[in-house]
Structure 1
Amino acid sequence: MLDHLDDAEWPGLFHALGSADDTPRHLTALLGDDLKAFTAAYSHLWSTTLRHEGKAWPATAPTALRVAELLDEPRPAPADPSLPDGLLAYLYAVGLAADLGDRAAEIRARVEDRASELRAWTDEYLAADPEGRSRMRQDGTGLGELVLDQAALACFDLAPTLLRRVLPHLASDRAMRRACAAAAAGSPARHPAASVQRPTISRQLTSMARSAECPYERATILIALGHLGGDTRSWLADPHKGVRTCAALAPGLAGDGAADRLLRELARSPGEFAESFGDMAPPLQLRFEPYLRRSREAG
């Protein structure tokens, strides 16, 4: 039960509201039966430990590690079977912050060169009031931005662990769980440490997409598959409009005539795309990342 909760130096980390010394309490509340505390804790995850633009605070990586541990923790009755889905969605958002690609090495070098300055800046930031913290983020030294780059690097380094925690949920007996797990696995599977696993994960996602009866699940899996460089071409002819469009968003299909036609249709009627999923919102990834940029370019 959150065995490593005390391993992080929470008071020395910060999130959107300042010191992260309140985050362990919220994480523990996610396992409790106090509905008010649980609601506040879930809100804390999304509104406080993640930056609105899909990037990381220094508290994000240690929070994500504990969230990954929570995936398999039982909760007191009445258990909410959708909680792991929400936690996987959170890990998807962290994965976006972690997806640094070639920037990781350059950030690591800069962070190592200025480690003592970054620690001093962080200590001063934690001691400041909200107005002072706002000034510090715009002080012109570049240290604030580098501290946030350091936070993203911590997420990058955590990505292989997140992937290991997420992968078992691809075999869940719940369609929504499988869809959220597919989304959450996408970015961590792009980490260099996952290069050996990536073909196996792509094959698993392909198999899942072929057997998925729910269009939402199929579309979400296809976005993840495309993100990993998998082949989504055969789904351009799927009978469901939303699935066809999500298949067309694969970066590997950029410039493909059939895919571009689907994206031009999307640009003309985005509402029709959303409505194709009925009462469900469009796939998880489309709520976080500008996948629709290709639709504007194609239009």
Structure 2
Amino acid sequence: MSLSKCCDTIPVVDDRAHDVDWSGLFHARGRASDTPGHVAALLGDDAEALVDGYTHLWSATLRREGKAWPATAPTAMLVVELLDNPLLGPDDPSLPDAMLAYLYEVGVAADLGDRAGEIRARVQDRVSELRGWTAEYVSADADGRAQMWQDGKAPGDLVLDQAALACFDLVPVLLRRTLPYLASERVRRRTCAAAAVGSLARHPAAAAQRPELLKQLLTMARASESSHDLATILIAIGSLGGDTRPWLSDPHGGVRVCAALAPDLAGDDTAEQVLVELARSPKAFGKSFGDMAPPLQLQSKWFQDLLKERCTS
């Protein structure tokens, strides 16, 4: 089944997809007109189209550097709509989990700290120029697009900052839609939701919610029966400024490391000793979760950089 036919036979992912000028947006491979069809394929029964859609979602609409493309924010809205769709993964519960993991990555891309106001001011001053550059970019072939990135005077970097700002502005909606999954009946889904909340709730608009969210995450951590899930939840707690010290002495090495990575524990003697041990034997950390990959947050460049910085300081 072709993607065009797939989109004709699958219920619309989100009516708001029709309100987005996807042809005026771009992702890693160029014009983003193909993105709604790829996302819709995740709801279908065409195995090949589903794999292509999944691959497109992760490799085209997200940047490896933990940043956004112009297509990222509207794609995130499609993804959050998928979470409530019964056609998503009826025989594969890992698909909704992966959508929550995607929202975690969007939260990382949207984590602008105190830069949001400065980016907004710069974007507002150059809206027409950015629109013109983008129109030229999506109309160019691959060689032309590559050349445009090499032009130091072009506003491409600001276009990408604008894309991150769009994600930043969307985070309150994504967080609200993600929170119910902290109470999912599926353990893995709760864990993936915790990871997503750990990045999304760093947004300034969530400041008032954060204390209650931390209480909920701490309750989940104490009740966790899996070291992998516990480690994932602890990273989320640390990201939101919660106290992970009680787990610095956990018998599981991977759990200790994830507790020690909490930004607020930088300089803490016990946490630093845990990370010194990690630096001495990084393979032991990789093996500590058995056949499972390390917690999903550690696959993000932001956390990889943090891990490198903390282990070598």
**Which TM-score band (shorter chain)?**
over 0.9
RMSD: 1.3
2:188 corresponds in structure 1 to 176
Report if aligned partners of 1:219, 1:283 keep a CA contact under 8 Å in 2. Answer: yes
Of 276, 281, 287, the match for 1:264: 276
Partner residue in 2 for 1:191? 203
Moved >4 Å (runs of 4+): none
State which drifts further: 58-67 or 282-291. 282-291
One-letter code aligned to 1:26: H
Conserved 8 A contact 2:89-2:95: no
Q: For structure 1, which runs of at least 5 residues remain unmatched after alignment?
A: none
Give the structure-1-normalised TM-score. Answer: 0.97
- Partner residue, 1:205: 217
**Aligned AA (2:291):** D
- Work out which of the residue numbers 6, 9, 14 in structure 2 matches 1:2: 14
1:60 to 2:55 alignment = no
- Whole-angstrom CA distance in 1 between matches of 2:84 and 2:231: 25
Deviation of 1:212 after TM superposition, in Å, equals: 0.5
Aligned twin of 2:122: 110
Match of 1:23 in 2: 35
Classify 1:295/1:76 alpha carbon distance in 2 versus 1 (closer, same or farther; 3 Å): closer
1:293 aligns with 2:305: no
Deviation, structure 1 residue 53:
1.3
Aligned to 1:38: 50
Number of aligned positions between the proteins: 298
1:162 corresponds in structure 2 to 174
Separation (CA, whole Å) in 2 of partners of 1:26 and 1:77 = 15
Contact 2:67 2:109 in 1 (8 A): yes
Q: Distance in 1 between matches of 2:77 and 2:25?
A: 15
CA contact (8 A) 1:267 1:295 kept: no
Q: Offset at 1:257?
A: 1.0
Q: Which residue of 1 aligns with 2:296?
A: 284
Q: Which residue of 2 aligns with 1:246?
A: 258
Alignment of 1:71-82 (within 5 A): 71-75=83-87, 79-82=91-94
What one-letter code is carried by the residue in structure 2 that aligns with 1:281? A
Distance 1:114 1:170 in 2: 40
Q: TM-score of the superposition, structure 2-length normalised? A: 0.92
Please say if residues 33 and 76 of structure 1, whose CA atoms lie closer than 8 Å, have aligned partners that are also in contact. no
| Structure 2: distance between partners of 1:216 and 1:209 | 11
